[in-house]
């Protein structure tokens, strides 16, 4: 049995194909989200090189911001539910999830069975999200992949506003003009993101073990800043961008079994 999960976010589209609810047959990520050609392109990419196609999928679940714009999905599920499912599958003893995506950040608390006990999210402001990191990266002229390296070279992290992306951008430009190093500003940016994420964690109530997912989890500087703020070791999920799509594929497998 093959099931597919597709996670159409604000900044990227992800897809995972599961075989018999266990083995990941294929996964793909496209840096284009809802309202773009991303969903169609990620579907093409995830089947590339396989001897199966979309018509061979027993069940498809869509999640993310753009889940209702996926006409071929059998069902739509919230990203909160799908991330919880995906993380519990990968790390069964996870109790607190930090998910930072392109336009929002979430904190989710789970019980020992992977059920959601509480969650909070910030989806009203770009501060503390992947969009915030992207803007700062462009201002600093440091590639997103290099932001983490810059973080660990800082000797005096700068103060960067955690309340507004526009204000923070102005702050960073001002600091650059005053000669503050890019490394110290990068570390300040990461601390700003960490401050926002950790405020969500405190609201849901942190429990061991803490796991991070979402595209921003690929930035080691952000992970380090959150660890320093929480004074806890953070686990980063394997392929952190695709945990939502994985959870959707797992739910699709359960629903396919019920329907059959």
The pLDDT tens digits for 20-79 are: 999 999 999 998 887 788 889 999 999 999 999 999 999 999 999 899 989 999 999 999
254 against 260, higher pLDDT: 254
- Both 54 and 113 in one domain: the answer is no
Ranges of H-type helices in the chain: 38-47, 79-90, 130-140, 144-151, 165-177, 182-204, 220-230, 243-259
- Both 223 and 123 in one domain: the answer is yes
* Joined tokens for residue 55: 């018509």
The pLDDT tens digits for 66-90 are: 999 899 999 999 999 999 999 999 9
- Both 224 and 253 in one domain: the answer is no
- Coil, strand, or helix at residue 48? coil
Cβ-in-10-Å burial (0-12, 13-18, 19+) of 98 comes to: buried
Q: Are 234 and 228 in contact (CB under 8 A)?
A: no
Preceding amide of 209 cis, omega within 30: yes
List b or e across 152-176, with b for residues whose CB sees 16 or more CB atoms inside 10 angstroms: eebeebbebbbeebeebbebbeebb
- Both 114 and 208 in one domain: the answer is yes
* Joined tokens for residue 64: 């993310």
The total number of structural domains in the chain stands at 2
Rounded distance, CA 156 to CA 25, Å? 45
- Both 11 and 103 in one domain: the answer is no
- Both 31 and 120 in one domain: the answer is no
Rounded distance, CA 186 to CA 99, Å? 20
Assign residue 117 the CATH number of its domain: 3.30.420.40
pLDDT band at 163 (very low <50, low <70, confident <90, very high): confident
- Both 82 and 1 in one domain: the answer is yes
Q: How far apart are the first and last CA of the chain?
A: 11
223 pLDDT exceeds 70? Answer: yes
Cβ-in-10-Å burial (0-12, 13-18, 19+) of 209 comes to: middle
- Both 213 and 182 in one domain: the answer is yes
Quote the domain boundaries for residue 60.
1-91+242-260
Rounded distance, CA 130 to CA 127, Å? 8
- Both 79 and 168 in one domain: the answer is no
Half-sphere exposure in the Cβ direction for 157 (13 Å, CA): 18
- Both 158 and 260 in one domain: the answer is no
Entry pTM: 0.93
Q: Are 128 and 121 in contact (CB under 8 A)?
A: no
252 against 35, higher pLDDT: 252
* Joined tokens for residue 211: 């796991």
Phi/psi class of residue 49: alpha, beta or left (left: φ > 0; alpha: ψ in -120 to 50)? left
């Amino acid at each position: 049995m093959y099931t597919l999960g597709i996670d159409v976010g604000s900044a990227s589209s992800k897809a995972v194909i599961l075989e018999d609810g266990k083995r990941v047959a294929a996964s793909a990520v496209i840096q284009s989200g809802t309202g773009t050609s991303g969903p169609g392109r990620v579907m093409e990419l995830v089947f590339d090189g396989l001897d199966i196609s979309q018509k061979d999928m027993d069940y498809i679940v869509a999640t993310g911001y753009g889940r209702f714009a996926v006409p071929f999905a059998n069902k739509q599920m919230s990203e909160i539910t799908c991330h919880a499912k995906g993380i519990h599958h990968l790390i069964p003893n996870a109790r607190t999830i930090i998910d930072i995506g392109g336009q929002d950040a979430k904190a989710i608390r789970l019980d020992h069975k992977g059920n959601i006990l509480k969650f909070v999210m910030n989806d009203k402001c770009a501060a503390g999200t992947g969009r915030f990191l992207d803007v700062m990266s462009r201002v600093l002229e440091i590639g997103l992949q290099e932001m983490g390296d810059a973080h660990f070279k800082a000797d005096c992290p700068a103060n960067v506003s955690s309340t507004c992306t526009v204000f923070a951008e102005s702050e960073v430009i001002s600091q650059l003009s005053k000669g503050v190093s890019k490394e110290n500003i990068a570390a300040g940016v990461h601390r700003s993101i960490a401050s926002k994420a950790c405020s969500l964690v405190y609201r849901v109530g942190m429990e061991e073990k803490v796991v991070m997912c979402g595209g921003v989890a690929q930035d080691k500087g952000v992970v380090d800043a959150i660890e320093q703020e929480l004074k806890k070791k953070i686990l980063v999920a394997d392929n952190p961008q695709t945990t939502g799509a994985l959870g959707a594929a797992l739910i699709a497998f359960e629903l396919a079994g019920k329907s059959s």
